[in-house]
């Protein structure tokens, strides 16, 4: 049973493929003509803290966006809210960073990339025209409800009989963080890793199902029944920032700009906060 469940969890796949054509990034002249200005500071907020997209009628427009799978719940709610306000269709692909990076460079399509951390933009930086910081992405140590193994810190992961699930360090931000945190704590070669997964939500599912004792995952993925967070685990130094990156192959500048404005609106911020995120300063 344990192997079957994990086998299902490890079969992460990309969501719906983006269908717009661009090809701008395949041309050297096209890349050089697009300003590659990466900004990690949050955009200025409107004074009222309300939607800046209320007046925009984008009926007939479609935005095609890549988004990290660990951010699915809040981002889908934001995308749905933007659609209801503007009429713009939102075609969002949810996948891990490695899958998204590969699809961007292969297809050279899409309007935006909402990444799990700013570091995940580096492999596709030649396709990014602008990046804005949105919210903080907070890693936590998650265990089964009731914490039956009495894990109180990262060091407890090296105890005998404790099994751990981590994200794929080659393709997910949370996997990279887990590997670094365990290495910094001096226990990377001492922990019992039961499996690695393609996305963060899969780890929460595995913990809740009793397939492992603990996992290092994003805070917002711990809302599943059967999972709880270990306080003061030592992961505070590994907090990342979720950026909204505009792609040079964007086919709809007006809709993309309106959505960027909406991401900084009061409505969007309230959704992030509802899911436990902190707004990036």
Least confident of 25-29, 142-146, 217-221: 25-29
| Of 154 and 11, more confident | 154
User: How many Cα atoms occupy the beta-carbon half-sphere of 166 within 13 Å?
Assistant: 21
Q: Which CATH number fits domain 138-236: 3.40.190.10, 3.40.50.12140, 3.40.228.10, 3.30.1020.10?
A: 3.40.190.10
The two counts, helices (H) then strands (E), for the chain are 8, 12
User: Which overall architecture, per CATH, does domain 60-135+240-277 show?
Assistant: 3-Layer(aba) Sandwich (3.40)
Residue spans per domain, the chain: 60-135+240-277, 138-236
Residue 19 pLDDT > 80? no
* pLDDT value at 125 more than 50: yes
177: Cβ–Cβ under 8 A, 6 or more apart, which residues? Answer: 139, 216, 235, 238, 240
Residue 268 to residue 61: CA distance in whole angstroms: 20
pLDDT at 199 over 50: yes
Identical fold for domains 60-135+240-277 and 138-236, yes or no, is yes
Mean pLDDT score of the chain: 83
259 close to 63: Cβ distance less than 8 angstroms? yes
Interatomic CA distance for residues 249 and 53, integer angstroms: 23
pLDDT confidence tier of residue 61, bands split at 50, 70 and 90: very high
Query: Lowest mean pLDDT: which of 82-86, 179-183, 193-197?
Result: 193-197
Apex CA 61: angle with CA 57 and CA 62, to 5°? 130
Q: Is the pLDDT higher at 155 or at 18?
A: 155
Q: Of 250, 120, 108, nearest to 172 (Cα)?
A: 120
Q: In sequence order, what are the residues at sequence separation of 6 or more whose Cβ sits closer than 8 angstroms to the Cβ of residue 217? A: 70, 139, 140, 142, 167, 174, 200, 203, 204
Indicate if the pLDDT at residue 76 is higher than 60: yes
User: Taking 60 as the threshold, does the pLDDT of residue 9 lie above it?
Assistant: no
């Amino acid at each position: 049973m344990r192997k079957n469940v994990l086998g299902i969890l490890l079969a992460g796949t990309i969501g719906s493929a983006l269908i717009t054509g661009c090809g701008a990034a395949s041309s050297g002249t096209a890349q050089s003509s697009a300003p590659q200005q990466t900004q990690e500071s949050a955009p200025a907020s409107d004074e009222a803290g309300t939607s800046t997209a209320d007046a925009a009628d984008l009926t007939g427009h479609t935005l095609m966006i890549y988004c990290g799978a660990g951010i699915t719940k809040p981002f889908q709610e934001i995308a749905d809210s933007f659609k209801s306000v503007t009429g713009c269709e939102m075609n969002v692909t949810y996948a891990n960073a490695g899958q998204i990076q590969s699809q961007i460079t292969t297809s050279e399509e899409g309007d935006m990339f909402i990444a799990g951390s700013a570091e995940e933009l580096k492999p596709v930086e030649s396709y990014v025209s602008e990046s804005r910081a949105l919210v903080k992405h907070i890693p936590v140590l998650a265990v089964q409800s009731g914490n039956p193994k009495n894990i109180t810190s990262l060091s407890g992961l090296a105890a005998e009989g404790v099994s751990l699930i981590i994200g794929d360090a080659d393709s997910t931000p949370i996997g990279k963080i887990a590997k670094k945190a365990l290495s910094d704590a001096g226990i990377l070669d001492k922990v019992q890793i039961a499996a690695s997964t393609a996305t963060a939500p899969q780890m929460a599912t595995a913990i809740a199902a009793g397939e492992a004792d603990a996992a290092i995952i994003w805070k917002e993925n711990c809302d599943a029944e059967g999972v709880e967070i270990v306080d003061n685990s030592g992961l505070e130094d590994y907090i990342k920032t979720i950026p909204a990156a505009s792609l040079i192959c964007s086919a709809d500048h007006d809709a993309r700009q309106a959505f960027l404005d909406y991401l900084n609106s009061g409505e969007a911020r309230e959704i992030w906060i509802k899911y436990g995120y902190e707004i990036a300063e």
